[in-house]
Structure 1
Amino acid sequence: MRHLLSLPQLASRAFSTTTRQMRNKVLERQKVFLEDNGLPVHIKGGTTDVLLYRLTMTITLAGTAFSCYWLLRASMPRGKAH
């Protein structure tokens, strides 16, 4: 029972910022995204952003093609069964 009573205290320690100081990276990231280097904003984050963008575009195009295929197939009349 004693362990259950100490659970809220342990949870607050786990999420406390006083034990681990976190560095604010917002200004560094703003510099990267505000830099005028001719890149679109969705790929300024580097290789990871480029890969995620290409994966998203691939999934979107494949889903669109798949949907169009099934819409076309559903719109065609079926042949007569023997």
Structure 2
Amino acid sequence: MLRHALTLQKVAQRSICTSACRQVKNRVPERQKEFQEDLGLPVHLQGGTRDYLLYGATMVLAGCGTGAVLYELWKASFPQKKN
């Protein structure tokens, strides 16, 4: 019984991986050079199309949230009269 518990403990400590570990190239220095160039754009938009889409989605959500808050404030300011 003790042997089974020790075996289970060893298996639980190992990371479960079904494929061989891949070496990942460090691209941080390349990305740093890319973002340090002066392109005339704000840093949060220098990443390309993906950044434009994320920025646009953020602005739309912020606008919708602001509109919802203003609507609720308007509704709370003028409550409906009870009959």
Report the TM-score range of the alignment, normalised by the length of the smaller protein. Answer: 0.7 to 0.9
Deviation at 1:8, TM superposition (A): 1.9
Q: For 1:1-82, list aligned pairs within 5 A.
A: 1=4, 2=7, 5-9=10-14, 11=15, 14=17, 19-81=21-83
How many equivalent pairs are there?
A: 75
SS in 2 for 1:6: helix
Identity of aligned residues (%): 44
Counterpart-to-counterpart distance in 1, 2:69 and 2:22:
49
Counterpart-to-counterpart distance in 2, 1:76 and 1:51:
38
Q: Deviations over 1:44-68 (max 9, x none)?
A: 0110011000000100010000110
Name the amino acid aligned to 2:80: R
What are structure 1's unaligned runs of at least 5 residues? none
Deviation at 1:77, TM superposition (A): 3.5
Q: CA RMSD in A?
A: 1.9
What are structure 2's unaligned runs of at least 5 residues? none
